[in-house]
Amino acid sequence: MGIIQNSDEQITTIYDFGSLRTEDQKKKFLEFGEQWWWESNRMIPINVFLKTDWAEFKFCVKTMNSKDVDIRLGPHINLKEMAAKRSKRRSITLIRKI
């Protein structure tokens, strides 16, 4: 159980709640997770959104094969899709003046 950093067809990277060592870390993890949930659009990875505040949780990153991951609840972020969506929105209109 944790917060997904990035998920694509082959690899899913999560911040594993079970890897946290102290109650203080667990409390901060949940507080930052709540902040990310309510203050972002949930399409930005939590480590990008919270930057330096989230840096202390680098040790609990787990990378797994996406076939072995079962996403039951919440958003899953795919940075590749984000880049594709952004490039599709750009359109150029050429007008010929006579």
98 found inside a domain: no
Condensed to tens digits (0 to 9), the pLDDT of residues 27-58 reads: 998 998 888 888 877 777 877 788 888 888 88
SS3 33: helix
- Pick the most confident of 8-12, 32-36, 93-97: 32-36
Backbone angles phi, psi at 78, to 5 degrees: -125, 105
95 found inside a domain: no
Does the pLDDT at position 92 exceed 70? no
Domain count for the chain, please give it: 1
Q: Supply 79's token pair.
A: 């940075």
Q: Domain span at residue 31?
A: 2-89
Distance set, CA 41 to CA 22, 24, 67, 86, 92 (Å): 29, 26, 26, 15, 27
39 found inside a domain: yes
94 found inside a domain: no
Closest to 6 measured CA to CA, from 31, 43, 35, 38 = 43
